[in-house]
Amino acid sequence: MKPRRASSFGLCYALAVILGFNLVPAATMAADAPPIVGDWTGTLNPGAQPKKQILVHISVGQDGILSGTINYPDQNTSGILITAITYKAPALHFESSSSLTSYDGAMNKATSEITGTWTQGGALLALVFKRTP
């Protein structure tokens, strides 16, 4: 009796099924990304000091864990790591241990703004982030 060879159609079909199953979680994850994911910009007004623009980038990994960075364009500083971040609609909290900064805010229903309090060096300042396109 001759050994049977798998047909090329059968191999292609099996490969397509395997790849298809591997793509479903990634597609599902992208569709289920929390509304907090994206780029946010705000202007901090510390009173006697010049206003400072702040850009925050929040992303979500395939494991569902949020991460992010903070940029201060006026100071030519970028990529400051957000070391802790939580989002449970509508509440957002993040902090950066390297810049001794934290933020607590609430996202509006349109998911276009986050209104909250920026804390740095003991100072509490109102800060509104707006989603950037």
How far is Cα 45 from Cα 1, in angstroms, rounded to an integer? 84
Structure tokens at 105: 């805010």
Domain boundaries, the chain: 38-131
CA dihedral sign of residues 39, 43, 46, 52: positive
One-letter amino acid of 66? L
Q: How far is residue 28's CA from residue 98's CA, in Å, rounded to a whole number?
A: 34
CATH number for the segment(s) 38-131: 2.40.128.120
In this prediction, residues 16-25 reach a mean pLDDT of 42
pLDDT tens for residues 54-109? 999 999 999 999 999 999 999 999 999 999 999 999 999 999 998 899 999 999 99
Q: Mean pLDDT of all residues in the chain?
A: 83
